[in-house]
């Protein structure tokens, strides 16, 4: 179980009341059509989920927080994929790092080489992303970590939408969201749930509240260990499966 009893009193409210904002998430990629929209998209992307996420994390309902963020990530990706398929030229201008990442991934698919099949290149990059994500999460109660996460999801989803447009809209999108990337997202989300709590609790506490130690509990260390196992699984799976998966995707392309 990811959840544990809350140490703070829970407000008497509908637990789903703060989740309806998630419905706006698939529309966020259209921010890319605005001036400076390519920067506004990742910066504003966490807004639909952040209140719901914060409530659940403060109460140590980590399972609910993880599910809320995973739903947000899935909706953001789906919206970006659809936007890319419907407006390819606009999305190329509006998704940060999208065209470069697309070129890198199509090199892997068509030629069978590149960063995806070279652990000496992708391992340091992904560990750097993780380190930045941890720092940003700690200093912002999770918000800036989610900004970085939105940036990563957006450009990965831009590639997925571009691949789907050249293969089959649904099957291509499902196949191009490679399994190790999905594991990585799940692990990063779990890290965010645990490490966002100290600052969220401090920000929410009034001056009259009794102080609560903000040290990590044994349950939280276990969740971080689970996230670490997910990150290792991501790297190992990618190293083992990327050559085969690229060949599989190549067979789906329309010539």
**pLDDT tens per residue, range 84-139:** 999 999 999 999 999 999 999 999 999 998 999 999 999 999 999 999 999 999 99
Band of residue 205 on the pLDDT scale cut at 50, 70, 90: confident
Distance CA 141, CA 203 (A): 9
Quote the pTM value: 0.91
What are the tens digits of pLDDT across the range 1-58? 555 544 444 444 555 667 888 999 999 999 989 989 999 999 999 999 999 999 999 9
How much is the pLDDT for 3? 57
Contact in structure between 94 and 37 (CB atoms under 8 Å): yes
Cβ atoms within 10 Å, residue 211:
6
Which percentage of the chain shows pLDDT scores above 70? Answer: 89
Residue 174 has pLDDT above 80, yes or no: yes
Distance CA 170, CA 147 (A): 27
How much is the pLDDT for 6? 45
Residues comprising the chain, all counted: 255
Bigger pLDDT: 187 vs 216? 187
Mean pLDDT for the stretch of residues 138-142: 97
How much is the pLDDT for 209? 52
Residue with tokens 């652990």: 119
Q: What is the 3-state secondary structure (H, E, C) of 158-208?
A: HHHHHHHHCCCHHHHHHHHCCHHHHHHHHHHHHHHHHHCHHHHHHHHCCCC
């Amino acid at each position: 179980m990811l959840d544990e009893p809350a140490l703070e009193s829970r407000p008497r409210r509908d637990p789903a009341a703060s989740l309806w904002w998630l419905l706006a998430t698939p529309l966020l990629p259209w921010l890319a059509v605005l001036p400076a929209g390519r920067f506004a998209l990742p910066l504003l992307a966490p807004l639909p989920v952040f209140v719901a996420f914060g409530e659940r994390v403060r109460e140590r309902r980590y399972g609910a927080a993880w599910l809320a963020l995973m739903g947000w990530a899935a909706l953001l990706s789906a919206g970006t994929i659809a936007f890319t398929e419907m407006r390819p030229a606009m999305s190329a201008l509006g998704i940060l790092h999208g065209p470069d990442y697309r070129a890198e991934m199509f090199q892997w698919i068509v030629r069978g080489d590149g960063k995806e099949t070279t652990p000496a290149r992708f391992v340091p990059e992904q560990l750097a992303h993780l380190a930045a994500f941890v720092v940003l999460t700690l200093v912002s109660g999770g918000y800036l970590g989610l900004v970085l996460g939105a940036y990563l999801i957006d450009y990965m989803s831009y590639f997925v939408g571009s691949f789907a447009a050249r293969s089959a809209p649904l099957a291509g999108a499902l196949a191009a969201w490679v399994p190790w990337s999905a594991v990585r997202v799940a692990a990063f989300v779990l890290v965010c749930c645990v490490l966002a709590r100290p600052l969220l609790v401090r920000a929410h506490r009034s001056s009259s509240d009794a102080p609560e130690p903000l040290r990590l509990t044994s349950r939280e260390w276990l969740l971080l260990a689970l996230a670490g196992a997910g990150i290792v699984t991501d790297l190992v799976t990618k190293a083992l499966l990327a050559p085969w998966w690229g060949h599989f995707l190549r067979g789906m392309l329309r010539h």
